[in-house]
Amino acid sequence: MELLQHPQSTKPIVVITGVTGYLGSHVLEQFLKDGTYAVRGTVRDKNNEEKIAPLRTALGQELFHQLTLVNADLLDPVSIDHAIAGADYVVHTASPLPLKQPKDENLLIKPAVEGTLAVLRAAHKHKVKRVVITSSLVAIMSPEKELRKETYTEQDWSEPKTQDAYGKSKTLAERAAWDFLSKLPSAEKFELVVINPGAILGPTYVNNGFASGEFMSDILNGKFPRMPKLMIPVIDVRDVAKAHLLGLKIKEAAGKRFPLCEKSMWFRQIAHVINQKLPGYNLNEGEMCYCLIKVVSWFDSSVKFILPIWDTPMYFDVSITENVLGMKQLISAEDSIVGIAESLIKQGLVKDKRRVK
């Protein structure tokens, strides 16, 4: 593995978008601790203390003071351009991810696609050397039976017309990124790296309003009398953040997609981990029947998108991530589950029902 080389006199500048987000805050921490780059982080409002304070607390004063914060909005290309001006590299993590599907899918698709293109246009304009983008495994897997595979690789692409709003937003945004790069003249091309994580779990620095936290809160709060018969690919937020750093630093990463999954788990297995590691929640590890979820889908259109993947195994070949990024030892899915649960309990977002065995 070959690392990109930089002059030692001054640190190259990297812009990281969405640094107050669940993933973005961890990516920021990785880059600041690494020390190779001067880090500029984008936020919607750098004077919003409710958003900035958890970041300052998580990083500590020493690291936080090494950070330059700038205002930027995904739907304001001028602000994106201003944030990226003078940068050598960009890591684009910012993208909306709600747990509940919006009535208007464009509320997700528009900021994802237009925000990504705004970042790439600014990167091109300011002659950025490399851009790392956060995509998702939903841009790789396909829920429809005709397109479904048991094991997916970085060569696979999902079909947007079969996806929910979030899936479409990630797939269309990543497609737009590769298409944008392909249309540039050879002399003007920059390097593009895409990170495709599964369901991101693990400890959080942000207090609320992020989908992984809402997902785990629903499980811990007993929203499911029985577990949905669904399998999800689990990856720890710290490993996803590390992949972004390595994706920027490793020369051979250019032009590649990197799927990230430590283990694919059924909901019942997630419930079992919680019952074993956090006794007191007493989650029912039994599974819902298909007929119930089918009836629910008649009244809740957002549920219909999980019907094709009901009782469907899905696995991911992450060989390229292991071989190119060198990520062969990942944080276990079990530790990721416990990590996010304990964070939510500590922050008071979930009632502490733990008992000592």
Question: For residue range 72-81, what is the model confidence (pLDDT) as tens digits?
Answer: 998 899 999 9
Q: 3-state class of 241 per DSSP?
A: helix
| Sole residue written with tokens 């080389």 | 5
Provide, rounded to the nearest whole percent, the portion of the chain with pLDDT above 90. 68
Domain that holds residue 37: 13-209+234-263+315-333
Interior angle at CA 131, CA 73 and CA 36, nearest 5: 100
pLDDT at residue 295 tops 70: no
- What would the two tokens of residue 110 be? 């528009």
Q: pTM for the full model? A: 0.93
> What pLDDT, in 10s, does the model give residues 182-210?
999 999 999 999 999 999 999 999 876 67
- What would the two tokens of residue 205 be? 């620095």
> What pLDDT, in 10s, does the model give residues 209-230?
678 888 899 899 888 888 889 8
- Angstrom CA distances, 79 to 76, 115, 122, 163, stand at 6, 11, 10, 31
> What pLDDT, in 10s, does the model give residues 118-144?
999 999 999 999 999 999 999 999 877
- Whether 117 maps to a domain, the answer reads yes
Q: Would you state the pLDDT for residue 101? A: 61
Average pLDDT estimate for 333-348: 95
> What pLDDT, in 10s, does the model give residues 47-102?
999 899 999 999 999 999 999 999 999 889 999 999 999 999 999 997 765 555 66
- Whether 56 maps to a domain, the answer reads yes
Q: Would you please indicate which residues are annotated as catalytic (active-site) residues? A: 170
Average pLDDT estimate for 315-322: 97
Split into its structural domains, the chain has a count of 1
Q: Would you state the pLDDT for residue 8? A: 46
Confidence grade of residue 147 (pLDDT, cut at 50, 70, 90): confident
Q: Would you state the pLDDT for residue 207? A: 77
Q: Cβ–Cβ contacts within 10 Å for residue 17, how many? A: 29
- Whether 30 maps to a domain, the answer reads yes
- Whether 348 maps to a domain, the answer reads no
> What pLDDT, in 10s, does the model give residues 225-257?
888 898 999 999 999 999 999 999 999 999 999
- Whether 307 maps to a domain, the answer reads no
- Whether 225 maps to a domain, the answer reads no
| Whole-number average pLDDT of the chain | 89
Q: Would you state the pLDDT for residue 266? A: 95
Asked if residue 44 lies in contact with residue 13, where contact means CB atoms within 8 angstroms, the answer is no
Give the CATH number of the domain where residue 39 resides: 3.40.50.720
Q: Would you state the pLDDT for residue 345? A: 93
Q: How many whole angstroms separate alpha carbon 195 and alpha carbon 200?
A: 12
- Whether 255 maps to a domain, the answer reads yes
Q: Cβ–Cβ contacts within 10 Å for residue 249, how many? A: 21
pLDDT at residue 167 tops 90: no
pLDDT at residue 337 tops 80: yes
Sorted by sequence, the CB contacts under 8 Å of residue 351 that are 6+ apart come out as 221, 345
- Whether 51 maps to a domain, the answer reads yes
